[in-house]
Amino acid sequence: MNSRGDVITTVLLGLMLSLSLVSAGDIVHQDSVAPTRPGCENNFVLVKVPTWVNGVEATEYVGVGARFGPSLESKEKHATRTRVALADPPDCCSMPRNKLAGEVILVLRGNCSFTSKANIAEGANASAILIINNSKELFKMVCEENETDVTIGIPAVMLPQDAGESLQKDLKSNISVSVQLYSPLRPVVDVAEVFLWLMAVGTVLLASYWSAWTAREVAIEQDKLLKDGSDELLQMEATGSSGYIDINTTAAILFVVIASCFLVMLYKLMSAWFLDVLVVLFCIGGAEGLQTCLVALLSCFRWFEHAAESYIKVPFFGAVSHLTLAVSPFCISFAVLWACYRKRSFAWIGQDILGIALIVTVLQIVRVPNLKVGTVLLSCAFLYDIFWVFVSKWWFHESVMIVVARGDKSGEDGIPMLLKIPRMFDPWGGYSIIGFGDIILPGLLVAFSLRYDWLAKKKLRAGYFVWAMTAYGTGLLITYVALNLMDGHGQPALLYIVPFTLGTFLTLGKQRRDLKILWTRGEPERPCPHIQLQPSSQH
């Protein structure tokens, strides 16, 4: 395994940047396609349907509320437990033969409109209507264009086919079944979002310091070679062996184009087998990243110095340090174990560890050389985020990025190229997630700001890093505010992060009259003659 993983990380970069989204899972589904009119203008909300069989609490199902009818209670304690009755006829397209006394009526979909069923059920003295879909998915119930009687006084909820069949089976066996219908609201802020914000900001902070420290060490070494008149510096410049990749404006644009291609591919090909391919790629990149981070961390301790500085030739991989060989089996085993247990409730921990290690490694290897490249990259990413979250609905009739992030077409929790934490105090459960692109792309600019400050010997207040880091944290915070205002509907984080980070950098550079230097030259390649850098401490 290559100790730095340059090739694999570069290949994975386009795939990682394809997902740039903050989400908590929708409970309110705004829909601009389904028609609305007075009496038929409700949002489509998810509905909890807990059941009791012969007085004993049983399965809890999830349905979706209709465009019509009254709003449901948001708190369980205010929802009334009501007996369920089968419709006779089952489709409820004519007045039921059985007499109702405020029961919830269970009917089959089809043969007449949803509003007709609801009107007939209300006329038969039902307190609510549960409509069983003819598939396992949920369908949004709307009013027909030519219908006039849409003023309905009872709630209407659709259940998936398997849930409805289970209830039907119990009722046909003369078993007493009761339900509650309510649609709980999300908490204003969940602890998961706080921890996810800390993870993202902490990752950018750690990666920025590592990138700046490495750049300063290289600059000091080059300064020493320059003073000694060594030919080694000329050899390094001739071979271009810098250990990292500087992207240019063309590459910045291509990253976004490649990310778009990957996103469309994920949207079109998403399935169980394709998800397995993504898991394998993520494990390879995550193991590489974890290895790189562990080797760098252990190298700081005196006990591991010799192992980190002594090398052995390995076929195909070339010279590899003994420390890398010692760490690699653990990293590979960790990634394999996560892949084997990735469907377990605790698997998010391993995914986040591998993800953070991979992000930090990418931000260490890939660098923005100046503000011009950073501006092009983030501007393209800004437009990319808006297009694939919002504009893509016009072509695909759904948000491509949200569908990919949630894994709607694979039956899974989504692709692994994201950080996630389970929502702790949310009655709907689920995960709060953030895509790798929301950390890597602005992280490139933040890391550049710290490298510039250190190499240009800028003091804390006169530098740009503190402002860039604060802008990133603030932009991400605003993203979560927007997320909660939209009831968990996925938000393009770069829509908020880019104006804060890039806008702050450009404004500050112009005020300080550094913009020309930042825009073209960027960070110094090596210390200027009049700048004296202190020798680095041994690690």
| Strand partners for 50 | 60
With a cut of 60, say whether residue 164 has pLDDT above it.
yes
Mean pLDDT of the residues in the chain: 83
One domain for residues 203 and 142: no
Q: Which residue has the higher pLDDT, 439 or 317?
A: 439
| Nearest by Cα to 466 from 479, 453, 480 | 453
Q: Which helix (H) or strand (E) holds 285?
A: helix 272-298
Tell how strand 366-367 and strand 245-246 pair up: parallel
Residues shown for the chain: 539
Decide if 34 is inside a domain: no
With a cut of 60, say whether residue 535 has pLDDT above it.
no
With a cut of 90, say whether residue 539 has pLDDT above it.
no
Question: What is the pLDDT, as a whole number, of residue 1?
Answer: 43
pTM of the model: 0.81
Question: What is the pLDDT, as a whole number, of residue 529?
Answer: 47
Decide if 537 is inside a domain: no
d(CA 458, CA 295): 30
One domain for residues 283 and 411: yes
| Nearest by Cα to 133 from 174, 165, 94 | 165
CB-based contact 405:490 (threshold 8 Å): yes
One domain for residues 408 and 435: yes
With a cut of 70, say whether residue 409 has pLDDT above it.
no
Decide if 313 is inside a domain: yes
DSSP string, 310-351: -EEEETTTEEEEHHHHHHHHHHHHHHHHHHHTTTSTTHHHHH
With a cut of 70, say whether residue 258 has pLDDT above it.
yes
> In angstroms, how far is the first alpha carbon of the chain from the final one?
24
One domain for residues 175 and 196: no
Question: What is the pLDDT, as a whole number, of residue 9?
Answer: 42
Question: Could you read off the pLDDT of 13-49 as tens digits, one per residue?
Answer: 666 666 676 665 554 444 445 566 777 888 888 899 9
One domain for residues 275 and 404: yes
Q: Which residue has the higher pLDDT, 58 or 539?
A: 58
CATH of the domain at 171: 3.50.30.30
One domain for residues 253 and 309: yes
With a cut of 50, say whether residue 516 has pLDDT above it.
yes
Decide if 236 is inside a domain: no
Question: What is the pLDDT, as a whole number, of residue 503?
Answer: 95
Decide if 57 is inside a domain: yes
CA distances from 298 to 36, 291, 293 (A): 61, 10, 9
Q: Which residue has the higher pLDDT, 149 or 431?
A: 431
| Nearest by Cα to 448 from 507, 381, 501 | 501
Q: Which residue has the higher pLDDT, 138 or 412?
A: 138
Question: What is the pLDDT, as a whole number, of residue 188?
Answer: 77
d(CA 156, CA 133): 13
One domain for residues 218 and 169: no
pLDDT band, very low/low/confident/very high, at 239 (cuts 50, 70, 90):
very low
One domain for residues 145 and 255: no
Question: What is the pLDDT, as a whole number, of residue 18?
Answer: 66
Decide if 21 is inside a domain: no
Residues taking part in catalysis: 385, 438
Question: What is the pLDDT, as a whole number, of residue 30?
Answer: 47
pLDDT band, very low/low/confident/very high, at 135 (cuts 50, 70, 90):
confident
Range among 216-225, 238-247, 522-531 with highest mean pLDDT value? 216-225
With a cut of 50, say whether residue 439 has pLDDT above it.
yes
Q: Which residue has the higher pLDDT, 402 or 55?
A: 55
| Strand partners for 85 | 105
* DSSP type of residue 391: I
Decide if 12 is inside a domain: no
Angle between helices 465-485 and 437-455 (to 10 degrees): 160
One domain for residues 479 and 400: yes
The position carrying tokens 């991989």 is 317
Residue 204, helix vs strand vs coil? helix
d(CA 301, CA 148): 77
Average pLDDT over residues 182-200: 89
One domain for residues 104 and 251: no
The amino acid sitting at 68 is F
φ, ψ of residue 48 to 5 degrees: the values are -80, 135
Decide if 2 is inside a domain: no
Domain that holds residue 250: 191-225+245-523
Task: Label residue 536 exposed, middle or buried (CB < 10 Å: 0-12, 13-18, 19+).
Answer: exposed
pLDDT band, very low/low/confident/very high, at 270 (cuts 50, 70, 90):
confident
DSSP strand E in 115-163: where?
128-132, 156-159
Mean pLDDT is lowest, of 58-67, 259-268, 288-297, for 259-268
| Number of domains the chain contains | 2
The amino acid sitting at 135 is S
| Strand partners for 128 | 104
| Strand partners for 311 | 321
Average pLDDT over residues 167-172: 90
d(CA 353, CA 335): 10
One domain for residues 414 and 479: yes
d(CA 305, CA 321): 11
